Amino acid sequence: MYKLTENSIIKSVDGSTMSIPKDPANRHYQEFLDYVIENGVDGIDGGEEVTQEDYATLRQAEYPSMEEQMDMIYHAGVDAWRAAIKAIKDKYPKNMKRQTVPKPVPAWVMEEANKKAGR
């Protein structure tokens, strides 16, 4: 129903679209906030998509440095090191491929809706 862009909110209804500015004085913007208050961010497209890297790139970014890994082995033992590395490998399994995933809805959406709702 709603899709966010960098500068506005796009509302689609029955094949037609409307661009809604982020303006508290705009009644359509207020309707958008009412929708978020009632339904949360489900059904809102966060906008442009972001690329999720492949498993190897994601793992490499999370692995501790070699110095930290050696320190972990020395102080906590090989089993603790193995568990820490396995947690990363489990988080990013080898069958993960580089893919495009929807961008999450920005935090400002809920912040504005909560402000309107008095929360």
Please report the DSSP string for 54-94 in residue order.
PHHHHHHHHSPPHHHHHHHHHHH-HHHHHHHHHHHHHHS-T
Mean pLDDT for each 10-residue chunk of the chain (119 residues)? 81 81 91 92 79 87 96 97 97 85 84 90
The pLDDT assigned to 4 comes to 87
The pLDDT assigned to 48 comes to 67
Provide the whole-model pTM: 0.54
Other beta carbons within 10 angstroms of residue 44's beta carbon come to 20
Distances (CA, A) of 93 to 42, 84, 96: 27, 15, 6
**Which position has the token pair 């590395």?**
85
The pLDDT assigned to 119 comes to 81
